[in-house]
Structure 1
């Protein structure tokens, strides 16, 4: 098959067309182009390559003058006209354009847009569509991995439950064995006593029947006396205390499926200048391995407290509040407003002067930054890990006293006062106010002075109120749950913290009768962790190893003592 090609438009010329004369609208080969440009009549004509040609205006009759073709554009009215229409009254004084030129511009624009669509937009959108298909496959693969991880977590938990169940059953068997052994010994005691009585009974029968009465007054007869029945202890039977666990607890043990706190990137689109090249978009990197949540070791409250070690905090007169940070570092403050960043070896890393006193006015956030209250200026400041200090939250007319950053969701709890009014305010991690807690459901004030504040594992907000002489506990909705007022006549609560078992640990700083009380999450007293007057605890916190760090209020007491209180 012969291939058809565009031929020159000159009469009797059959050569290949390469050029175009825009005024004449004639196709030209190279030879005819040269002759066309030499001719006196056409040498001024615009001759271009055929691809750059201007399109010829299609013939269209004028609506008002059917014998004439439209060839002029009225710019004012935006309507095509013939040569006769320009003399009409409606178009007098209007600007006119060559309709063919304007038509050529429109056609050129269409060609340009067609080229963009074909060379860029179609290929780019098809590439994005391909990427989405790849993402669909990646999502399916990732979700399969997540489902497998969830099942693996559940199997691990089941195995752990089986092991714990086996241990507890073995413990029950040992208890039973011990009790039965004790009862067997008691039974043997009474068997021996019964045997003794039977022998004694025979002796008395023998003496009763004897004919020689003088024997009854002998020394051997006087020794025959009935021994008392042996005493044994009635055993206390063991009881089973059911564990407290809820669906949320199991859900936490099995991890969670969520999105990382990362802003998604827009799909990358190639620039227009590269429209002719093939679109290549790298696939997104997605996490394939879901992190397995660590199973917390089963712990319980010890019957005794063991001192682990001590360390000194430089740059403070005493240790009134401790905030444990990351990498074995801490923040500590005294009643003079000194706030010191130090490590556990006693090296000072940073020191600033604040308006704080002996309250719990600083806390470490989930990000590892420190935030602290400034009562004087009524703001909350943030210290980032590069030691930059910025203003974080303005509290208006309220003086911020105590503060705590939630380990559950990063919310910030702040105890505040203003003209005799007291409240606890919750902010989210960006500093937006989301909750105010001030009164109970009967309209009574919950607080008088929020000295220290913390949060329990169930979301309860625990506040030590020095003026109210109580630890005030409300749930996460702000409803009052209970108030703990100590075990003696004098209870001055100050430092407070909670641990991973939901225990609430509070310092009672009453002079001469200082204690460290521990209660459960329902307010029931469990024990006093430290002997009275061994130290004078002012602040307390629990580290990742469940060790208790205790600071003292007394002047020039820079020592923090670390205790082990859980088994």
Structure 2
């Protein structure tokens, strides 16, 4: 076997191809034996050959050749021109006054940067993409299951319909049989009476025939028929059959009665994924668990307040709720300890609406004073002062901005304005056809949904108006039929939960409506509510409702969802 071609052989010199490699030229990247080093050094005298031991190969930095001075190597770097330079370049006027650095220093910094970027790719970015791929795969698997559950639910609903139709058919056929038997029995009795009379008539005829056949005159004179009785014929009974009037089958009505599917969507959230880090915090990558609505919502706690009229509630946390009644004082209540503290508005006016920011500060609007204010460490700061407009509802967004709904002094215009601090960022007032999105009027409440939609309860329009983040109208929800009290939809307080459900209080029908993010009605919550007004939801998706119970203003905590 030729040792030079054996897979088990050691490396050989690139020049003689026989001797074992002992040296290496870092300049030419050539492997050499000791005997061939001299030959290689004189083979190209234009180069500055850097010959090192084979084990130390690539340890000598190989400087690039100068593009201006062909026989020179660039061992320096012009920071201003961002190019390697040789000693002759440095002395030229082209780089006069420029900052010149050793090329090796620049390379070390460049190498360090590349190493850091490689480490980021290897330790952070690639694992993040692995997590994203896993997340997408999990979502696909979840979709398969949930769409399967959806198909099963539709099939089961269809079976329920078939059972109900079979029951109805059976009931109608039983009614037909009962009507038939009743009429047949009546006719049979009538027939029996007729047959009896026919028998009597036959006997009468036989008696007359006997009298006529005798020559006994006395018998003839004594014979007398009852023909007058038989001349009065029996009544004619005409059965009247019932008619089957089939209901008109209209596809759209059947679809409406049977049920329909809300639209599906795939939303693109540019900030939906967070970068995976080697030391991940417990909160990183958190996504809310999938929850389902309870068949029967249940009241967990009742908090009795001292208000004569209670309107608005805003959750500070799972245990504490800010409230607004019919005076200038806003009170913080604890589920377990009752009233904790009170804040009076700066102007002494009654606040119009209240909300809690992401940082836990209280925000309130002052309609009479035309201001939006924030309470920090129990000190009130004016954030916004309006001109020719008065603020109504307010909410704090996921980005920390404020959304304020307001209407003009002449009561003809209503708009939503987004603020970053006191700076106006966006105004939402008209739809794509230039028509007003909102009606005029006093009671307007606002919230931001998890998908960043802006939801407004518009009492004047008797609707919930939902626009997307860009202010484009998505839908108007005008209530559901039948309503619990069969009264018109009267929306008041509004809030949203972790599943992007929209909840709004309906004070006329003594209930809370739950709709999905596309405006499809899901169900009512009543729980014995009376004139519900303010709503808020804590981080565990518990619903708090301000309402009147036995002429007492209370807050009730309602559990209406469970983790799937």
TM-score tier, shorter chain, comes to: 0.5 to 0.7
Mapping of residues 315-354 of structure 1, within 5 Å: 316-354=307-345
Where does structure 2 lack aligned partners over 5 or more consecutive residues?
Answer: 1-22, 24-90, 205-224
Tell me the equivalent position of 1:549: 545
Q: CA RMSD in A?
A: 5.9
Contact kept in structure 1, 2:544 and 2:555, CA below 8 Å: no
User: Does the 8 Å contact 2:383/2:422 carry over to 1?
Assistant: yes
> What residue number does 2:102 align with?
113
Aligned 8 A contact 2:355 2:395 in 1: yes
For this pair of structures, how many residues does the alignment match? 418
Over residues 407-459 of structure 1, what are the superposed CA-to-partner deviations in whole Å (9 max), with x where a residue is unaligned? Answer: 78776432335654654332156665233345786788955543331358694
Displacement of 1:352 after TM fit?
A: 0.9
Q: 1:217 to 1:519 in 2, by over 3 A?
A: farther
Change (3 A) 1:418 1:154: closer
Match of 2:292?
A: 297
SS at 1:345's partner residue?
A: coil
The equivalences for 1:166-565 within 5 A come to 166-193=155-182, 195-197=184-186, 199-200=188-189, 202-210=191-199, 211-212=202-203, 239-241=254-256, 242-248=259-265, 251=266, 258-259=270-271, 283=278, 285=280, 294-297=289-292, 310-313=302-305, 316-354=307-345, 355=347, 360-365=352-357, 369-375=361-367, 378-383=370-375, 387=377, 391=381, 393-397=383-387, 400-405=390-395, 412-416=402-406, 419-420=409-410, 423-427=414-418, 432-437=423-428, 448-455=440-447, 459=453, 461-464=455-458, 471=462, 474-476=465-467, 477=471, 495-497=492-494, 504-507=504-507, 539-540=534-535, 549-552=545-548, 557-560=552-555
What is the CA-CA distance between 1:154 and the residue it aligns to? 1.1
Q: CA deviation at 1:113?
A: 3.0
CA contact (8 A) 2:332 2:341 kept: yes
Taking the aligned partners of 1:133 and 1:527, their CA distance within structure 2 comes to: 50
Cα separation, 2, equivalents of 1:329 and 1:149: 36
| Structure 1 stretches lacking a partner, 5+ long | 4-101, 266-281, 509-513
Separation of aligned partners in 1, 2:100 and 2:436: 78
Residue 124 of structure 1 is matched in structure 2 by 112
Distance in 2, matches of 1:176 and 1:483, equals: 32
The Cα of 1:310 is off from its aligned counterpart by 3.2
Distance apart, 1:559 and its partner CA: 2.5
Deviation at 1:197, TM superposition (A): 4.8
Shift of 1:332: 0.4
Pairing partner for 2:142 from 153, 157, 163: 153
Deviation at 1:186, TM superposition (A): 1.9
SS in 2 for 1:171: helix
User: Are residues 341 and 205 of structure 1, via their aligned partners in 2, closer, same or farther at CA, if it must alter by over 3 Å?
Assistant: same
Partners of 2:448 and 2:113 lie apart in 1 by 52
Q: 1:522 to 1:129 in 2, by over 3 A?
A: closer
**What's the CA shift string for 1:282-309, capped at 9, x where partnerless?**
9575999966664443579x9xx99776
Q: Deviation of residue 190 (structure 1)?
A: 3.6
Q: What is aligned with 1:278?
A: none
How far off is 1:206 after superposition? 1.6
| Cα deviation digits, residues 491-531 of structure 1 (max 9, x gap) | 997843267765653436xxxxx97797989899x999799
C-alpha displacement of 1:175: 1.3
Q: Distance in 1 between matches of 2:338 and 2:556?
A: 17
Q: CA deviation at 1:185?
A: 1.9
Q: In the aligned structure 2, how far is the partner of 1:427 from the partner of 1:379? A: 14
The answer to whether the 8 Å contact 1:379/1:391 transfers is no
The offset of 1:339, in angstroms, is: 0.9
TM-score in terms of structure 1 length: 0.55
Q: Provide the rounded CA distance (Å) in 2 between the counterparts of 1:283 and 1:527.
A: 46
